[in-house]
Amino acid sequence: MKRRNFLVGIGAAFLAGCKEIGDSRWFEALVDTAEGWHRGIHRTLGVGRIAMAPEYDRSEVSPYFRGNGSLTVDTPEYRAALEAGFPEWRLEVTGLVDNPQSFSMAEIRDMPQRTQVTRHDCVEGWSAIGEWTGPQLSHMLEMAGVQEGAKYAVFRCADNLNGQDYYESCDMDDAMHPQTIVAHLLNGEALPEINGAPLRLRLERQLGYKHPKYLTGIELVASLDDIAGGKGGYWEDRGGYQWYAGI
Amino acid sequence: MANAPAKPKKRHALGTRIWHWVNLVSVTILFMSGLNISNAHRRLYWGDWGFAAEHAWLEVPRFPGWATIPGYYSLAAARDWHVLFAWVFALGLLVFMISAVRNGHFKRDLFTRLAEWRPANIWHDIREHLRFNFEHEGTKFNFLQKVAYSKVIFLLLPLMIFTGMVMSPGMEASWPWLTDIFGGRQSARSIHFICAWLLFLFLVVHVVLVLLSGPARQIRDMITGGRNDEAA
């Protein structure tokens, strides 16, 4: 019995130690440092080319596309806009740009389009394949003229989850990536409500929470510190998810 | 036997000992934080995709707080632990493999010889195990030990690393062929889960056999290195 108590004691001490470490500042700092390495290593390993997320054949699309997180924007205005086909919806491009833009849905549909069949990986573990269509974000940013100091693109959304507006952000490397598109079609049809109608960002080399839905604005900034909780995204601020979600 | 290579003085080389304990810590943390991550989505699938019950081949139980790191459900914190200790685990294995090639541990102790695969030898080994007789002359490990250790070191541990890498979308963009080898991201996730439990099974058998074969001496030798002449 004594030996068993000893083993239980070791187990309890191990768990208490893990809790102590997990709550410490230096562990948080170490995790943040590792996040930077991961981003650097992922970008470095794709040497000599732009690392692209795999694209699938149209026949490999999942039978339907799961919705998660916000499944709608809970306002009468959104409901009315959804029913009318979003004639008044606008996407603003602001911040560190030469010419701020405000695009209508018609203008977005008229831009050069990219269609890609990609796999969406939720941080929870599931995956779904869908065909997304929309203009490249780089096209919109080039129209607005990116200024020198811009380091991050911040994505503003209409949905409000647990009393906070959803938002996300990425670095300029991801913002200018060819597969980063502002999608308005899923599997050839207007984006469904649960998947972010009318506009959703696709950031294919990162996990699902980095693909904000119900998109209303894109802002180029030099720092994320003064935006909402300062960590660069809704889940990053609220739940402690990593800002770089390439893992 | 004059030409036989000299046996090392220590029963366990320094590199083996350091790796053994570092690996115990990192695998324990990876396993327990992995169970926390599993609680976020308890279904497993084959192929590239899957998200609903009708696509799943298995729904695993929810793992209780005492078995997870942290001890409450937190996908964010569990992922921090998991991703950080994946580095300790992977680099530790790499350094151990290099040192075990250099000091001859793999060649001398772990690789089986053709003669050992004779059914009579395997059967003899199984019988001796069932009698709890772990004495074996000549070589350091018997046949079953060699097979178990080499399968873990050369198969299960690398599989954990590579299937883990497949699940990273950033990694996949750089090395998409890795996903294809495992037949898709969800297949890699399933294999990751299966191998984690096979490692747990190995740990249980390993600990039971240590307890049956003089645990105090075994643990002491894995710390100090022990002396080769007392280990028959």
Helices B185-212, B157-166: inter-axial angle, 10-degree rounding: 150
For residue B144, the model assigns a pLDDT of 86
Domain annotation covers residue B1 = no
For residue A95, the model assigns a pLDDT of 98
CATH number, domain with residue B212: 1.20.950.20
Structure tokens at B75: 């996908």
Domain annotation covers residue B77 = yes
Strand order in the sheet with A101-104: A101-104, A90-95, A215-221, A152-161, A164-171
DSSP B74-137: -HHHHHHHHHHHHHHHHHHHHHHHHHHHHTTHIIIIISPPGGGGSHHHHHHHHHHHHTT----S
Domain annotation covers residue B34 = yes
Number of structural domains found in chain B: 1
* Conformation bin of residue B56: beta by default, left when phi > 0, alpha when psi is -120 to 50: beta
H or E, element range at B1 = none
ipTM over the 0.95 cut-off: no
Other Cβ atoms within 10 Å of B37 Cβ, number: 20
Domain annotation covers residue B8 = no
Range of the domain at B206: 14-224
Instruction: List pLDDT tens digits, range B194-213.
Output: 999 999 999 999 999 999 98
Q: Determine the 3-state secondary structure of A147 from DSSP.
A: coil
Selected residue of A19, A20, A24, A121 to mutate for chain B interface (largest B Cβ count, 10 A): A121
Nearest to A121 among B52, B79, B185 (CB): B185
Nearest to A34 among B71, B83, B173 (CB): B83
Instruction: List pLDDT tens digits, range B37-72.
Output: 999 999 999 999 999 999 999 999 999 999 999 999
Domain annotation covers residue B206 = yes
**pTM recorded for the entire structure:** 0.91
How remote is the C-alpha of B31 from its chain's centroid? 11
Number of inter-chain CB pairs under 8 A, A vs B: 129
Domain annotation covers residue B4 = no
Domain annotation covers residue B180 = yes
Q: State the residue for tokens 């029913």.
A: A83
Q: State the residue for tokens 């190995």.
A: B202
Closest approach of A9 to chain B, Cα-based (Å): 13
- The closest alpha carbon to A137, from A116, A123, A120, belongs to A116
Cβ proximity of A137 and A201 under 8 Å? yes
Place B129 in a pLDDT band, splitting at 50, 70 and 90.
Answer: confident
Structure tokens at A183: 């999608």
Place B231 in a pLDDT band, splitting at 50, 70 and 90.
Answer: very low
Domain annotation covers residue B6 = no
Cβ proximity of A153 and A210 under 8 Å? no
DSSP B163-184: HHHHT-HHHHHH-HHHHHHTTS
CA distance B42 to B13: 41
Helices (H), A87-179: 105-110, 137-144, 172-175
In the predicted model, what is the mean pLDDT of residues A179-187? Answer: 98
When mean pLDDT is compared across A3-12, B2-11, B103-112, B212-221, the lowest value belongs to B2-11
Using CA coordinates, name the residue in chain A closest to B167. Answer: A247
